[in-house]
Amino acid sequence: MKTHDDALIYVYNRGLRRGSKKVMERLASGDEVDPSEYYFRTTPIFETGTPEYTWLNGLVTIATGERRLREVIITVYEVT
């Protein structure tokens, strides 16, 4: 990704999304589905050589996800 100050940060974001067959069909068809109806978790890893952001290289993180109509929202948490 590219930050507001033009730094480049590589993000490897592996995860999974699962739910009932009906919920997954609704998601696939583009319906707006409440995130409480499915499980969406990821484990982002960050890598950058930009000095202002190298602190990201040492983080262990987990994230939750929401699939919305025109976007995916990923909320990242640092494991401390």
pLDDT at position 20 is 97
Distance of CA 23 to the CA centre of its chain: 20
HSE (CB half, 13 Å, CA atoms) of 33?
A: 25
Per-residue pLDDT of the chain (80 residues; tens, 9 = 90+): 999 999 999 999 999 999 999 999 999 998 999 999 999 999 999 999 999 999 999 999 999 999 998 899 999 999 99
Burial class (CB within 10 angstroms; exposed 0-12, middle 13-18, buried 19+) of 29: exposed
Domain spans, the chain: 10-78
C-alpha–C-alpha distance, residues 38 and 23, integer Å: 7
The phi-psi region of residue 4 (left if phi > 0; otherwise alpha if psi is between -120 and 50; otherwise beta) is alpha
CATH class of 10-78: mainly beta
